[in-house]
Amino acid sequence: MGKKSKAEKKGKNGKKKDELAVEPHDLASVLVQAARSMRTVLSRNLHESGLYAGQDGVMLALAETDGLTAGALAAKLGVKAPTMTRTIGRMEAQGFLERRPDEEDARLTKVYLTAPGRERLQTIAEAGQHSEKLATRGLTDKQVRTLLKLLRVVDSNLQAARAPD
């Protein structure tokens, strides 16, 4: 048996097999890098419509449940309250959402999508679909379903570890 040709040394996606080898201790760095890459592509796709990173999550949360407090939004999206307050202020200035006093408890201020904000929901969906298609290029439907299942388990494990006893 002779030496392997360059084509034989490469996997289906054209990368050397050594480049695809992942050790269990690489999980955190590979997962974080994949999430950053996904976020970068998504942000680039959203930027054309005047949206910035993180704003899509706020708008999708409000599309699901309009009229949340800044604190509820921050908790739902896993960010600190001051970060959410700044994001809401910026989005309000852009005309995507508005703050109004709660009808039942005037001490509370709730955040609502505006008509221009609702108009951006389709753009957000399209940007997400484009990013997902790019990220899963070369994977079968079954592999994508398996990946999603595994990532949900990883997230669930990490969420449980974060929860107070």
Residue 158 burial (10 A CB sphere; 0-12, 13-18, 19+): exposed
Residue 125 is predicted with a pLDDT of 92
pTM: 0.73
pLDDT in tens, 20-55: 666 767 889 999 999 999 999 999 988 877 888 889
Q: Report the distance separating Cα 86 and Cα 112, nearest Å.
A: 15
| Total number of residues shown for the chain | 165
Percent with pLDDT over 90 in the chain: 70
Decide: 129 and 56 in contact? Cβ < 8 Å: no
Backbone angles phi, psi at 151, to 5 degrees: -65, -35
Average pLDDT value for residue range 113-137: 94
Gap between the terminal Cα atoms of the chain: 60
* pLDDT in the model for residue 15: 54
By the 8 A CB rule, do 102 and 86 touch? no
